[in-house]
Chains A and B, each alone.
Chain A
Amino acid sequence: GQQLNQSPQSMFIQEGEDVSMNCTSSSIFNTWLWYKQDPGEGPVLLIALYKAGELTSNGRLTAQFGITRKDSFLNISASIPSDVGIYFCAGRTIQGAQKLVFGQGTRLTINP
């Protein structure tokens, strides 16, 4: 099925460093979402983006909806240990407004 291309697949960083990850698609999306998933849990919504060019922050997290509507990025500033987990981008195409299409995830590991 349709999937988003998310990169990087994994990141190993030092506490305090900034993190950046992104997603691209060959299709136009009208909504971009970023989720975080902890082990044994379902994904939790971090940031939602609804307009091309939109830049939204949630604490140390910042995400943008690309102008072309085919990409989005998520930045985490000054990482802390609780940021460890798997981050997923997700989106809705115009045609499939209800279902979400997910990226493959970025696994973030923080070295103390």
Chain B
Amino acid sequence: GAGVSQSPSNKVTEKGKDVELRCDPISGHTALYWYRQSLGQGLEFLIYFQGNSAPDKSGLPSDRFSAERTGGSVSTLTIQRTQQEDSAVYLCASSLASGGAVADTQYFGPGTRLTVL
């Protein structure tokens, strides 16, 4: 497929467990973004990658959240010691470039729905 893919599509975990969410961006896209969408809300920015580096981590809600990107492609968002308030849909997006121009159009994946019991 040519779009952004995410796995798993659904994840149910117990409070206190660690989870890893994966994002495969569109091939050739240098920028990758993670957002969180709580029920009935808009999307909340978490972190942005340009290549393998993360110039903007300002949206990560706590030090339990971390993300990495390897090979300028796949990214993993890790949540340690999950809490019930972490329950949300985690969306990944990628763009050809970054900087606010037309080439910066962000294409979103279908998201991972995380439920923390």
Which residue numbers of A lie inside 8 Å of B, CB to CB?
Answer: 1, 3-4, 6, 30-31, 40-45, 48, 50, 88, 90, 92, 96-105
Contact = CB atoms under 8 A, between A and B. Distances in A.
B70 interface: no
A4 to B, nearest CB: 8
B7 to A, nearest CB: 14
A48 B108 contact: no
A27 to B, nearest CB: 14
A42 B56 contact: no
Secondary structure of the A side of the interface? loop
A41 B110 contact: yes
Contacts of A88: 42-43
Q: Report which residue of B44, B59, B100, B111 has the largest number of chain A beta carbons within 10 angstroms of its beta carbon.
A: B100
Nearest to A43: B108
Contact of B48 (A43, A99, A102, A104): A99
Given A42-B4, A42-B93, A100-B35, 19 more contacts: A1-B44, A1-B45, A40-B110, A42-B109, A42-B111, A44-B108, A45-B105, A88-B42, A88-B43, A92-B100, A97-B100, A98-B100, A99-B33, A100-B45, A101-B45, A102-B35, A102-B43, A105-B40, A105-B41
B108 A98 contact: no
A43 B59 contact: no
A95 to B, nearest CB: 11
Contacts of B107: 45
Q: Report which residue of A50, A100, A101 has the largest number of chain B beta carbons within 10 angstroms of its beta carbon.
A: A100
Contacts of B33: 98-100
Contacts of B59: 1, 99
Contacts of A98: 31, 33, 48, 50, 55-56, 98-100, 104
Contacts of A100: 33, 35, 43, 45, 106
Contacts of A40: 110-111
